[in-house]
């Protein structure tokens, strides 16, 4: 049975609630051995508000790391203390994964403002994971419903995207995605679609020349190296083709190009996966949702899917390795 570490994320957010609801679900019963990394008092506080499971803490393996918090972290409030703990939980999970003590990490959401207040200059989980595992090439991939969508650029202003889309950045993404789908998803010859940048993939140069000068040459180089990739595909129809099963993954060139179709098709069940790491990491595809903390309305669907996917990836990697 696989061992999965689940980090609590920001303890002032909905992480504790969705973790408890997920582990109380029938879907995850006997799916793996789970270790929650976080403080028990935050889980106890969340448990009081959950009506659907009366004793959700019974039998849970909880690893507390970092300074024991008092009552200074309030539900739904941004704080440096909560940010510091959330990063500490992640660091411990990374340590366990690197040591082989767990087979995968699943992360509840952190709050970017809180971690900045705590003195950490990272946009989010992905960059921390890359730094702590000495990973230079990594890719964010979203999995939801019938789609897998990988991103060439992530959290950058739209005006910067054109400077960041290069032959190398596209080729690196194709390589990381191909290796990840083979190793962690058990797909022997991934069919990779690559979106164009401009409307209708520039329509033969009428709406821009990035496809001809950058995207197409990158795809041709990738094909020359043996990758099964197609494009540049018109972005307005590419995801429909992927939904119909023509591709195993679609590579989007910028954040909203890829996340809008995922959010439409799998708003509550999407999963965030980091490819290219030496360890397995999946995450919920939502934020800390401070506005609904303590109201017993947070859906555990994304966390359940993230855990199920982490188990599946760990099994696939074990079969390959």
Domain boundaries, the chain: 1-135+277-321, 137-269
pLDDT along the chain (321 residues), means of 10: 97 96 90 96 92 73 85 90 95 97 98 93 87 95 96 92 96 98 97 95 82 95 97 96 97 97 93 97 95 95 97 94 80
CATH class of 137-269: alpha beta
Rounded-to-integer distance, Cα 242 and Cα 193, Å: 8
Q: Got the DSSP string for 43-97?
A: HHHHHHH-SS-S-TTTT-EEE--SSPP-S-S-TT---HHHHHHHHHHHHHHHHHH
CA distance readout (Å), 68 to 41, 42, 57, 63: 9, 11, 18, 12
- Is 1-135+277-321 in CATH node 3.40.720.10? no
Cα 223 to the center of its chain, rounded Å: 27
User: How large is the angle between the packed helices 125-132 and 80-98, nearest 10 degrees?
Assistant: 40
Structural element, H or E, at residue 33: strand 33-37
Pairing assessment for the beta strands 33-37 and 61-63 based on DSSP bridges:
parallel
Query: Do 1-135+277-321 and 137-269 come out as alike in CATH topology?
Result: yes
At residue 51, the pLDDT reads: 84
pTM of the model: 0.94
Query: How many Cβ atoms from other residues are within 10 Å of residue 152's Cβ?
Result: 29
């Amino acid at each position: 049975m696989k061992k999965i570490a689940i980090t609590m994320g920001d303890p002032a957010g909905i992480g504790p609630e969705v973790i408890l609801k997920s582990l109380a679900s029938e879907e995850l019963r006997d799916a793996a051995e789970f270790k929650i990394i976080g403080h028990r008092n935050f889980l106890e506080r969340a448990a009081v508000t959950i009506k659907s499971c009366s004793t959700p803490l019974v039998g849970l393996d909880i690893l507390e790391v970092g300074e024991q918090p008092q009552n200074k972290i309030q539900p739904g409030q941004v704080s440096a203390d909560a940010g510091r703990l959330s990063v500490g939980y992640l660091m411990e999970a990374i340590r366990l994964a690197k040591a082989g003590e767990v087979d995968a990490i699943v992360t509840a959401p952190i709050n970017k403002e809180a971690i900045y207040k705590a003195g950490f200059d990272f946009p989010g989980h992905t960059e921390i994971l890359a730094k702590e595992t000495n990973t230079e090439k990594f890719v964010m991939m979203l999995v939801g419903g019938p789609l897998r969508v990988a991103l060439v650029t992530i959290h950058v202003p739209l005006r910067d995207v054109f400077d960041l889309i290069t032959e190398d950045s596209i080729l690196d993404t194709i390589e990381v995605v191909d290796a990840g789908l083979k190793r962690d998803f058990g797909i022997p010859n991934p069919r990779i679609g690559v979106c164009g940048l401009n409307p209708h993939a520039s329509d033969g140069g009428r709406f821009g020349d990035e496809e001809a000068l950058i995207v197409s040459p990158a795809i041709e180089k990738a094909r020359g190296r043996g990758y099964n990739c197609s494009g540049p595909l018109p972005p307005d129809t590419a995801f429909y083709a992927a939904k119909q099963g023509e591709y195993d993954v679609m590579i989007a060139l910028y954040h909203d190009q890829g996340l809008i179709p995922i959010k439409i098709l799998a708003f509550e069940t999407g999963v965030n996966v980091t490819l290219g790491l030496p360890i397995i990491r999946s995450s919920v595809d939502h934020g800390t949702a401070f506005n609904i903390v303590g109201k017993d309305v947070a859906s555990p669907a994304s966390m359940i899917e993230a855990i199920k996917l982490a188990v599946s990836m760990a099994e696939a990697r074990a079969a390959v390795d």
